Structure 1
Amino acid sequence: MTAVSDTFYTLRPGRISYRAGLALQEELLAPPGPATDLMLLLEHDPVITLGRAARDSHLLSSVEVLAQQGIDLCHAARGGDMTYHGPGQLVGYPLFNLDRRGRDLHLFLRNIEQALIDALQCFDVDAGRCAGRTGIWVGAQKLASIGLGVRRWWSWHGFALNIDIDLGGFNHIVPCGLTGVQMTSLAQLLPQAPTLAEVETAVITSFASTFNLEYAGSYERKLSTPA
């Protein structure tokens, strides 16, 4: 039988702002922190996020132009450069205990990549890695971005997988600081994009397998974070 410590739960708040997503992670990670591994699965309102490695030159539109198009701009305490989030993109924030995983952030990141690669196989998408570059790729096109943070050896931030997102949002930035990179989505790669719920199910299954965890269902906790 799988031990209680080898389970994980999901929390799915729906579509929320990026700032609300940050506040939610902060609340969940506040001492003493989650009792078990937990993954948030959600969508964000349109936003460009700037990771710790972001360069000003990688933002191609002014704040005024972004505001006119309803796109927020936020700094994030995660690794990586700039990325775009919006409706039609599955965002996952695994709040996982790295202390009992040998504090190996590199291995943890590689396992997230593997979990996403395995999940995409459910939709006959032949995705993989690109040498020297983080994320999930289909050929030369990038399908998912990953940027992590660590707090008291709990992971936060996570991945963004493009399902049926308006890819035009990426035109405002140099995605992930990679000049010339072309973003793609499942809607572009498949005759019909799977639903968000279908992708969530595939991701949950693949994370359980990759991390050798038992999925225990929805996380029950009274939260004060507004949507």
Structure 2
Amino acid sequence: MDFLSACVTPSPPGAASLAVAPALSGQNRQIQVRRLGLVDYVPTWELQEQLLADTLAIKARNRTAQEQAQPFEPTPNYLLLCEHPHVYTLGKSGKPEHLLLNETGLAAHAATFHRINRGGDITYHGPGQLVGYPILDLDNFFTDIHRYLRVLEEAVIMTLADYNLRAGRIDGLTGVWLDFEAGAANPRKICALGVKCSRWVTMHGFALNVNTDLSYFGHIVPCGITDKAVTSLQQELGQVVPVAEVQERLLLHLAGLLGAELRS
């Protein structure tokens, strides 16, 4: 069974019920972190697909082993962290017309475009943006895709709080926002999410704008949302913020929320 989370999806109010439960027998809560640096989008997508396929193969073997009373093989968890050259990606539920550039326009902006198998509409990745791709077997943590999305959001919210930025959620919209309160004058998105989950194994993930060139968002309708802005840490703080520093802060928060042990 596959679950696809879109950019617009029903959201529980707040981050309640994110308390970490003790690990059960057979659950592997180690996460192998791979810091990839600046890498092209397609090879990273292919790496995700391979890690997903490998994990699903282990789960298939475990089902057979269970039937035959054979030993159980723990499934791995991965987190790929990277930046990408300029690229636009369109999820399965997205509308191609939300990309406002033709092939000539893409070339002029040194950008590429790919249709992919995550949920959501169109989004942008580029240098200065911290992108995370967790390939996690949620059977190792909890089998609740909406809770998983809330955990990713909460890790970003906690990271932004380290920089004295108050961020949160907007009901009905996945992602992390500033000026998120009802009636706020200028709600603006700082982190997008789009996830695929197959047999409780996740791929794709989040994109946090750190020092992102926000002009590239002007060439799309981000996540199909026409009435809200996009921002970055650099835009909000008025200075460049080291992506590696943000990355390490976010890792610590995510590990705490998942009750995970990080391995490099």
Q: TM-score over 0.5 for the alignment?
A: yes
Deviations along 1:173-209, one digit per CA (max 9) or x if unpaired, are 1001001221100001113232011011111100011
Matched-pair contact (CA < 8 Å) for 2:166–2:178? yes
Deviation at 1:31, TM superposition (A): 2.4
Separation (CA, whole Å) in 2 of partners of 1:36 and 1:82: 30
1:50 aligns with 2:97: no
Q: Write 1 or 2 for the structure with the bigger share of strand.
A: 1
Matches within 5 A, 1:54-203: 54-139=94-179, 140-203=187-250
Distance of aligned partners of 1:60 and 1:32 in 2 relative to their CA distance in 1, 3 Å threshold: closer
SS at match of 1:117: helix
Separation (CA, whole Å) in 2 of partners of 1:18 and 1:54: 18
Give the AA of the match of 2:222.
P
Deviation at 1:28, TM superposition (A): 1.7
Separation (CA, whole Å) in 1 of partners of 2:197 and 2:236: 33
Query: Which of 42, 45, 50 in structure 2 is aligned with 1:22?
Result: 45
Give the AA of the match of 2:223.
C
**Unpaired runs of 5+ in structure 1?**
219-227
The 10-residue stretch of structure 1 (192-201 or 3-12) with the greater mean CA deviation from structure 2 = 3-12
Separation (CA, whole Å) in 2 of partners of 1:68 and 1:179: 24
Q: Give the percent of matched residue pairs that are identical in Structure 1 and Structure 2.
A: 40
Deviation at 1:36, TM superposition (A): 2.3
TM-score, normalization by structure 1: 0.90
Deviations along 1:86-109, one digit per CA (max 9) or x if unpaired, are 000000001111234443111111
Give the AA of the match of 1:146.
L
Matched-pair contact (CA < 8 Å) for 1:120–1:202? no
Matched-pair contact (CA < 8 Å) for 1:89–1:162? yes
Matched-pair contact (CA < 8 Å) for 2:132–2:206? yes
Distance of aligned partners of 1:189 and 1:32 in 2 relative to their CA distance in 1, 3 Å threshold: closer
SS at match of 1:92: strand
Separation (CA, whole Å) in 2 of partners of 1:32 and 1:81: 27
Deviation at 1:119, TM superposition (A): 1.4
Query: Which of 17, 22, 36 in structure 2 is aligned with 1:13?
Result: 36
Matched-pair contact (CA < 8 Å) for 1:175–1:181? no
SS at match of 1:30: helix
Separation (CA, whole Å) in 2 of partners of 1:102 and 1:208: 14
Matched-pair contact (CA < 8 Å) for 1:97–1:155? yes
Matched-pair contact (CA < 8 Å) for 2:40–2:84? yes
Matched-pair contact (CA < 8 Å) for 2:90–2:123? yes
Separation (CA, whole Å) in 1 of partners of 2:146 and 2:155: 14
1:37 aligns with 2:37: no
Deviations along 1:33-80, one digit per CA (max 9) or x if unpaired, are 684221110001100000111112212121221122111000111111
The two structures, once aligned, show a CA RMSD in angstroms of: 1.8
Separation (CA, whole Å) in 2 of partners of 1:68 and 1:142: 26
**Unpaired runs of 5+ in structure 2?**
1-21, 59-74, 180-186
